[in-house]
Amino acid sequence: MVTEECDLLGPAEAMHPAEAALVERAVERRRREFAIGRQCARRALARLGVTGLPLLAGPNGAPLWPAGLVGSITHTHAGPAGFCGVAVAARQDVVALGIDAEGADSLAPALWDFVLTGAEKRRLDGNTRAGHLAKLAFVAKEATLKAVLPSAGQPLDFRDIHVDVAPAEDGFVAEVVVQVENLPPDMRRCVGRFARHDRIILAAVVVPNRGEPASGPERPFVGFHAMC
Ligand SMILES: CC(C)(COP(=O)(O)OP(=O)(O)OC[C@H]1O[C@@H](n2cnc3c(N)ncnc32)[C@H](O)[C@@H]1OP(=O)(O)O)[C@@H](O)C(=O)NCCC(=O)NCCS
């Protein structure tokens, strides 16, 4: 597995024309985060020997990784300089991969009903760190959705995933709690890791092929180290 990361404020390299066409009508902020994501992806792919190909996107927004590879992109404007991260792995090692980065603050109460299941909300009742734990659940669910959606063949939302967060271990277990035909069992229940970096929370879900341990990243994220 290879990972690349950078902040969102630096200069963005030119995109492949086919990539630029995907965001030609987007606002500047969106074009920038997309371009930086493609730049990180291009660097990660080059380290795996893949060059010159545009990284296009499917109708649901998921990147269309070259044959034989899986990957995930995240960007956030949180933190002093924003953050963009990309992880890419060979499908023979990893069958699904999802990463997410968000600001390390509390999840706004207005979002709780949208993000959390009833059971998850009940577990937070009376907890003085409920807002922070809710944010961890949100980041974990985003990473899990990115790992699972490309194989699910159907839309999923946050409450279709139940997350058990273990902040002391910087880990979580995420389970798909709705029926998804043909979703492999190892994607129904995913194990993930958290890391923190410069006011940003990072979550990563890696589903190794055939249950074998995934090899670690060659050059890890500052924040994602030891996660993948
Ligand atoms: C798609 C989603 C995972 C994006 O996450 P986010 O935290 O908003 O944004 P991030 O910057 O971390 O990630 C965005 C990247 O995720 C990737 N992405 C987008 N859709 C994706 C999908 N379906 N599967 C996997 N990855 C996806 C893209 O690479 C995108 O960046 P890019 O467009 O620049 O390439 C998030 O919106 C989500 O969880 N959606 C599903 C839940 C939902 O809202 N459902 C409603 C009904 S289906």
Residue 126 Cα to ligand 1 middle (Å): 31
The alpha helices in 85-222, defined as continuous H runs, are 109-115, 118-124, 130-152, 185-188
Instruction: Please give the distance of CA 63 from its chain centroid, rounded to a whole number.
Output: 12
Does the residue 188 lie in any domain? yes
Q: Which residue, 43, 64, 92, sits at the end of a domain?
A: 92
- 68, 100: one domain: no
Position 174, amino acid: A
- pTM, full prediction: 0.93
- 177, 188: one domain: yes
| Radius of gyration (C-alpha) of the chain in whole angstroms | 17
- 102, 196: one domain: yes
Tokens linked to 190? 């995913």
Residue 57 alpha carbon, nearest atom of ligand 1: 35
Domain extent, residue 142, equals 94-209
Residue 87 Cα to ligand 1 middle (Å): 15
Distance CA 146, CA 81 (A): 24
* Closest C-alpha among 177, 101, 167, 88 to residue 134: 167
Q: Which residue, 65, 92, 119, sits at the end of a domain?
A: 92
Residue 41 alpha carbon, nearest atom of ligand 1: 35
Tens of pLDDT along the chain (228 residues) come to 999 999 998 889 999 999 999 999 999 999 999 999 999 999 999 999 999 999 999 999 999 999 999 999 999 999 989 999 999 999 999 999 999 999 999 999 999 999 999 999 999 999 999 999 999 999 999 999 999 999 998 999 999 999 999 988 889 999 999 999 989 999 999 999 999 887 999 999 999 997 555 555 444 444 444 454
**Ligand 1 pocket, 217 CB below 6 A?**
no
